[in-house]
A and B are shown apart, each in its own frame.
Chain A
């Protein structure tokens, strides 16, 4: 597959980056592509000027679908990916469900999303590369500025980099590949490992689970596919990096991780986007299958720019003796709704969610966790820390459910919220549904304000107010940050400092 298909419903656009008007013929086609150069520097919007990944490059996508979503767009994406019929059928079924499902009636305000104004697919280059040098310069430069190649050299076992809709770069350490570890894009997995994909795809999050999961299932593109064979421990993390470059764009990556019996893997997801005047949508689906005795840790530090709606469905099933850990840091975006879930399906399974949310100016972080105890002797821990500042709203929304007739269930939920100033808001909405008796459940929720005494103490030692409150916020997050790999802890601290800078006092 070397060139986009010029005929048919998808119109190709020259890859040239110079400002060009949309060819009339293409515009007239059912799926017209447009290539509007976008070069808004981060400083274009003073309100979000602190966002350091706000740069962008001219859109040079080799093609993209027209705005809006219908069957033709879905078929175009599937055709372009040369998918088997079963995947197309799955997409179309999900598209129908998307049309029928209502918007969530709770959570963050999503009324600004205009599904007709979004571009659902944009392909930045022809095929993924195995070396950074082969990438188009802008894309290579983007990842260099974000620091991905450097991180790869230093502490990663494999890297996938997605730019708009497609994975543009992929690598995995040779020794892991030899042991049978698979780390590739889901498109490659559909072609090369169809049995695994058919067995697990959509089994944890059904195509009609919720409106945004249905949308993702209809138009998914990119993401990761990970398979770790029995007993294999991947000692250092795999990482996927998601970058939105286009404006008014929807990114719908799809991730499927299968940890076979007794295996271990730590998968890290990072993301950024340029700052535009219009909103983009990021709506991912992540499904994880932790087979008996395995352990999976999935860490995210979401740092989307302040115009991205981040509406993500993440769910894992953990079988007997398996451990699933979500580490979920939400720093960026305009609105986030995300509640990583663990279904504890076998005895001895353990689920853990660590959630960190930072809601600054104009941001709403509606995050939390969902734990379903479906087997005896299972345990779960949810730790949520949120910070709200400059009018931001941080909400914890959690659910712990214990099925009928179970024994030896333990669950502990701790929510800590820190409110930095009186304009900001913190909410806690925990739900518990317990249908068994032999259950030990704890729930603690604390809301604190940055104390005047704490601020004054640090100020009296020579620290300015902004630095003093950043120090208190970092201290508040510290117990969670300690559980991140060092490099990410440093990154998170830095992000928090950026968020805190200059806006206090």
Chain B
């Protein structure tokens, strides 16, 4: 399913953050999103998923032609959108197994409904088999099945758990927000392998990252750079190398070299 974002503007606590995002992610393709801290990358991910703290001011975002911005978050999820959180929250007392079972069931039911099929209910033993296999694949100890979701997990365990959920929910478009940050080499490989496992014509991803390491595994089709709430540069994988070598200064300069845009920014800020 294509994700098509047009002139998306959004604010948080009255402060404009996204200042007109235009972005397309074609079904089956992987896009990388880079940019300095505070550019608005997480904001974009949250806005697309429907976080209540962010207000959409204008613009549109459609997934497979459906306007997602008007839907409550769970309906976006049921359409096939997934957000791997930069900072997954802890949910005390809710076990991984219980939570994921409901999430998978809800997704299966919605898929059946969308396909005009009757949902016959969940095959629980198949679910458990799949969950165990996914845990093994992600290097998550099986004892985590009965742990409370993210509670007391290390940073790396939380990130693996995000990708584990992604494997189980089989989204059509995944937003991965710095899933690679803070991971050692092994964890990074596992996380990348998880995303690659889903790759295919029905899976697209927006991978937010600061590092080339993960992109070497994921091989994005396109790289976008966000700065102050806009996509300022887009290009192929060679962009990543330049950013790693030179940092973001040239991006800032490039953005600054566009006076019309600066003026627009200033006007917005004072508005």
Which residues of A line the B interface, CB within 8 A? 451-454, 456-465, 467-468, 471-472, 474-479
Contact = CB atoms under 8 A, between A and B. Distances in A.
B106 interface: yes
Given A456-B51, A460-B76, 4 more contacts: A454-B89, A459-B72, A459-B77, A461-B165
Nearest to A477: B93
Interface residues of B, number: 30
B91 A475 contact: yes
Contacts of A468: 74
A460 B166 CA distance: 11
Contact of A475 (B110, B148, B169): B148
A458 B99 contact: yes
B93 A452 contact: no
Contacts of B91: 454, 457-458, 471-472, 475
A467 B78 CA distance: 15
B148 A462 contact: no
Nearest to A475: B93
B191 interface: no
Q: Chain A's interface: helix, strand, loop or mixed, by majority?
A: helix
23 contacts: A454-B91, A456-B50, A456-B52, A457-B88, A457-B91, A459-B72, A459-B73, A459-B74, A460-B82, A461-B99, A461-B169, A462-B74, A462-B78, A463-B103, A464-B72, A468-B74, A471-B91, A471-B98, A475-B92, A475-B94, A478-B92, A478-B94, A478-B148
Nearest to A468: B74
A435 B66 CA distance: 69
Nearest to B77: A462
Interface of B: 49-53, 72-74, 76-78, 82-83, 85, 88-89, 91-94, 98-99, 102-103, 106-107, 110, 148, 165, 169
B249 to A, nearest CB: 34
A479 B94 CA distance: 10
Contact of B103 (A451, A462, A474): A462
Given A457-B89, A461-B169, A471 B99 contact: yes
A474 B165 contact: no
Q: Give the interface centre of B53, B78, B92 by most chain A CB atoms within 10 Å.
A: B92
A493 to B, nearest CB: 10
A336 B227 CA distance: 57
Contacts of A479: 93
Contacts of A464: 72, 74
A452 B50 CA distance: 12
B12 to A, nearest CB: 13
A455 to B, nearest CB: 8
A474 B93 contact: yes
Question: Which of A452, A463, A464 has the largest number of chain B CB atoms within 10 A?
Answer: A463
A478 B99 CA distance: 13
Contact of B93 (A451, A463, A478): A478
A463 B148 contact: no
B106 A463 contact: yes
Contacts of B73: 456, 459-460
Contact of B89 (A451, A463, A467, A471): A451
